[in-house]
């Protein structure tokens, strides 16, 4: 999977940078200001698809930040004003943002200058991706809308945009703020939420009823300064800064209507438009019962097509119990059916970064990473597995479909910031591509794109830079020639060739020993088929010195579950230094002393012995 901030990938059509009627000051032609639009669009993605850029990298799914029409400016977000370039400030759930769409197709055929034309462009992108064998994941937000209404603090009936109090009101524990009024600022698209009734797009009748256009469908409880960190329920009902929280309480008057409205909307995207799955934003900030109802009704509506769709969620939390909770319905054990198909594994992300995201030649211990991977099949105090092991419509479970990543667009941001070398980034991507789960790359990492403004230990958004700028940056052909691009391409090819790298069991083999320093920084594991006939061994060395998987007489012995008799291990791929340290063929049944070059990852594949 390849995840991009759509506005920051490639500006393929400069004509949409300042949509007609929009505030021209919201676009930065120099593509430097992270608070402004920088021009990336669907045409830029289409051009990369046409050039087989993603195919050459080995990508089989694209995840785009939300493409729907947004509020274009907010007066209060993390303490200041910003533009909605990222897509998470929805204004119209059934229109595509004009910053992203073009007036004509790739073939030069005109699109209507309306919601129909913009949706057709999005559908054409999906069709193009499919023609290249690539799926499309749509990023969706069901927790909140953008700044579509204001709090009329002085009751004058006018949105006083310079007043912080009209963007943000303090959290109201009991009741709601009754002074919420729809905004009407066309140049910022800060207007009443849509759809306000049924729509017809791409020949499909979408029976929306306007529930999202009723102000009573929103909590209007105001902003909590600890909206991200709360665990007492306030995080579910408060506004995110100046964003407007949707009232998803199962006891709420509009609960069923909201669920049905979203089912109607996303059934359209998943069928008529043809997207292949949904990445669901801010999951833990929505009532769990809402996800029960939404996933159940959406799958029922999709029917047999549900088997080909992936619904995975973002729960910004490192606790596997919290992450896995949303793969179970809230009415467990009454129902053991899957809720979300899967989640983004923040537990893995945090542990992998602690191991490898260290300055200079430093590294952390892989012990926490080993523990994180083991937690995927562990259980909680109620003896319920953290992640639902019951099969979904596609015959796979949440443990098998978990999304692994090591960087993203949120506060934790890019892996490679000041002090992190290109070599260490290459190692991190190798680790990501060989461990269990669906690996998700963050745009630009295939070029080891450096976020010079980012710092280890500090959250920020400085890594949301334009990848292919108008000038002064890389071009696609240059990126494809880079070592990191080549590494990922080779790893993707190997994943395709060897099923055990995609679906094999994970078996830990070696982690730092406490009794000596000769193996510090080493992490070794196997991926094996269920019958043990096919397996690979992967050894990672985060040190800048040669290391071995041995400590005196202690050496790796592959477990009995792997059929090692008559098998040899042969080096298949090295990420990092290609220097040969271990014999080409090693007896898989014997104790393994594997020497690994500095800052390298080595993959050994099992073969029948030729003796």
What is the per-residue pLDDT for 518? Answer: 55
- Cα dihedral 535→541→547→551 (10° resolution): -60
CA distance 340 to 524: 31
CATH number, position 125 = 3.20.20.80
Q: Looking at the domain assignment, is residue 552 inside a domain? A: yes
Q: Please write the tens of the pLDDT for every residue from 31-51.
A: 999 999 999 999 999 999 999
Answer yes or no: do 367 and 426 share one domain: yes
Answer yes or no: do 451 and 546 share one domain: no
Answer yes or no: do 341 and 454 share one domain: yes
What is the per-residue pLDDT for 233? Answer: 86
Percent over 90 (pLDDT), the chain: 87
Residue 526 parent element (H or E): strand 522-528
Domain that holds residue 567: 502-608
Q: Looking at the domain assignment, is residue 207 inside a domain? A: no
Q: Please write the tens of the pLDDT for every residue from 435-448.
A: 999 999 999 999 99
Average pLDDT over residues 148-164: 95
Peptide bond into 431 cis (omega under 30): no
Q: How many Cβ atoms are within 10 Å of 518's Cβ, its own excluded? A: 15
Q: Say yes or no to pLDDT of 79 above 80.
A: no
Average pLDDT over residues 49-65: 98
Q: Say yes or no to pLDDT of 563 above 70.
A: yes
In 3D space, the residue among 535, 521, 529 whose CA is nearest the CA of residue 596 turns out to be 521
Q: Looking at the domain assignment, is residue 152 inside a domain? A: no
Q: Looking at the domain assignment, is residue 52 inside a domain? A: yes
Q: Looking at the domain assignment, is residue 244 inside a domain? A: no
Answer yes or no: do 282 and 426 share one domain: yes
Q: What is the DSSP string of 389-410?
A: -S--TTS--TTTSPEE-S--SS
Answer yes or no: do 322 and 412 share one domain: yes
Answer yes or no: do 534 and 588 share one domain: yes
Answer yes or no: do 384 and 521 share one domain: no
In 3D space, the residue among 85, 118, 87 whose CA is nearest the CA of residue 104 turns out to be 118
Domain boundary among 496, 526, 558: 496
Answer yes or no: do 290 and 438 share one domain: yes
Answer yes or no: do 300 and 427 share one domain: yes
* pLDDT category of residue 516 using cuts at 50, 70 and 90: low
Average pLDDT, the chain: 94
Q: Say yes or no to pLDDT of 515 above 60.
A: no
Q: Please write the tens of the pLDDT for every residue from 107-145.
A: 999 999 999 999 999 999 999 999 999 999 999 999 999
Q: Please write the tens of the pLDDT for every residue from 458-498.
A: 888 899 999 999 998 999 999 999 999 999 999 999 999 99
Q: Please write the tens of the pLDDT for every residue from 381-438.
A: 889 999 999 999 999 999 999 999 999 998 888 999 999 999 999 999 999 999 999 9
Q: Say yes or no to pLDDT of 70 above 70.
A: yes
What is the per-residue pLDDT for 412? Answer: 85
Q: Say yes or no to pLDDT of 584 above 80.
A: no
Answer yes or no: do 346 and 463 share one domain: yes
Q: Say yes or no to pLDDT of 504 above 90.
A: yes
Percent over 70 (pLDDT), the chain: 98
**Contact indicator for 227, 221 with CB cutoff of 8 Å:** no
Number of domains in the chain: 2
Answer yes or no: do 390 and 512 share one domain: no
What is the per-residue pLDDT for 438? Answer: 97
Domain boundary among 469, 496, 523: 496
Q: Say yes or no to pLDDT of 65 above 60.
A: yes
Domain boundary among 448, 467, 496: 496
Helix axes 367-374, 346-356, angle to 10 degrees: 160
What is the per-residue pLDDT for 513? Answer: 58
- The pTM for the full model equals 0.96
What is the per-residue pLDDT for 551? Answer: 77
* Polymer length in residues for the chain: 611
């Amino acid at each position: 999977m390849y995840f991009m901030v759509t506005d920051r990938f490639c500006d393929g059509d400069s004509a949409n940078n300042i949509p007609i009627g929009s505030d021209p000051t919201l676009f930065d032609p120099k593509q430097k200001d992270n608070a402004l639009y920088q021009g990336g669009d669907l045409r830029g993605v289409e051009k990369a698809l046409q050039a087989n850029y993603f195919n050459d990298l080995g990508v089989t799914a694209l995840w785009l930040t939300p493409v729907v029409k947004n509020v274009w400016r907010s007066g209060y977000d993390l303490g200041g004003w910003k533009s909605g370039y990222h897509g998470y400030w929805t204004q119209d759930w059934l229109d595509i943002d004009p910053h992203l769409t073009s007036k004509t197709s790739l073939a030069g055929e005109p699109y209507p200058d309306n919601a129909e034309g913009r949706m057709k462009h999005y559908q054409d992108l999906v069709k193009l991706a499919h023609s290249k064998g690539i799926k499309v994941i749509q990023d969706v937000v069901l927790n909140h809308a953008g700044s579509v209404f204001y709090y009329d603090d002085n009751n004058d009936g006018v949105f006083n945009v310079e007043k912080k109090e009209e963007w943000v009101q303090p959290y109201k524990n009991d009741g709601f703020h009754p002074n919420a009024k729809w905004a009407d600022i066309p140049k910022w698209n800060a207007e009443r939420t849509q759809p306000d009734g049924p729509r017809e797009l791409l020949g499909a009748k979408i029976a929306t009823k306007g529930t999202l256009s009723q102000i009573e469908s929103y909590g209007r409880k105001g902003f909590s300064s600890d909206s991200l960190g709360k665990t007492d329920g306030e995080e579910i009902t408060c506004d995110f800064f100046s964003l407007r929280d949707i009232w998803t309480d199962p006891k709420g008057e509009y609960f069923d209507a909201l669920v049905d409205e979203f089912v109607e909307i996303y059934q359209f995207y998943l069928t008529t438009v043809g997207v292949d799955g949904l990445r669901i934003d801010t999951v833990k900030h929505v009532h769990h019962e809402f996800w029960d109802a939404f996933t159940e009704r959406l799958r029922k509506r999709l029917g047999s097509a549900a088997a080909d769709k992936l619904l995975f969620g973002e729960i910004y939390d490192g606790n596997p119990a919290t992450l896995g909770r949303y793969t179970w319905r809230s009415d467990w054990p009454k129902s053991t059916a899957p809720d979300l198909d899967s989640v983004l594994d923040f537990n893995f992300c945090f542990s992998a970064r602690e191991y490898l995201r260290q300055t200079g030649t430093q590294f952390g211990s892989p012990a926490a990473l080993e523990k994180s991977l083991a937690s995927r099949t562990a259980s909680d105090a109620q003896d319920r597995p953290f992640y639902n092991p019951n099969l979904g419509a596609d015959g796979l479970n949440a443990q098998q479909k978990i999304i692994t990543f090591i960087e993203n667009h949120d506060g934790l941001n890019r892996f490679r910031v000041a002090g992190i070398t290109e070599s260490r980034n290459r190692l991190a991507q190798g680790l990501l591509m060989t461990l269990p789960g669906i690996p998700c790359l963050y745009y630009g990492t295939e070029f080891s794109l450096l976020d010079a403004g980012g710092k280890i230990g500090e959250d920020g958004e400085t890594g949301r830079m334009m990848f292919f700028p108008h000038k002064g940056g890389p071009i696609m052909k240059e990126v494809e020639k880079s070592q990191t691009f080549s590494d990922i391409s080779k790893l993707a090819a190997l994943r395709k060739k060897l099923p055990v790298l995609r679906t094999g069991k994970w078996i830990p083999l070696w982690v730092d020993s406490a009794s000596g320093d000769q193996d510090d920084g080493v992490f070794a594991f196997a991926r094996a088929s269920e019958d043990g006939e096919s397996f690979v061994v992967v050894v990672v060395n985060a040190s800048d010195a040669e290391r071995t998987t041995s400590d005196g007489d202690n050496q790796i012995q592959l477990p009995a579950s792997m059929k090692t008799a008559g098998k040899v291990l042969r080096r298949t791929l090295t990420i990092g230094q290609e220097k040969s340290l271990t014999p080409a063929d090693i007896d898989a049944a014997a104790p393994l002393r594997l020497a690994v070059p500095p800052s390298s990852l080595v993959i050994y594949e099992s073969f029948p012995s030729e003796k």
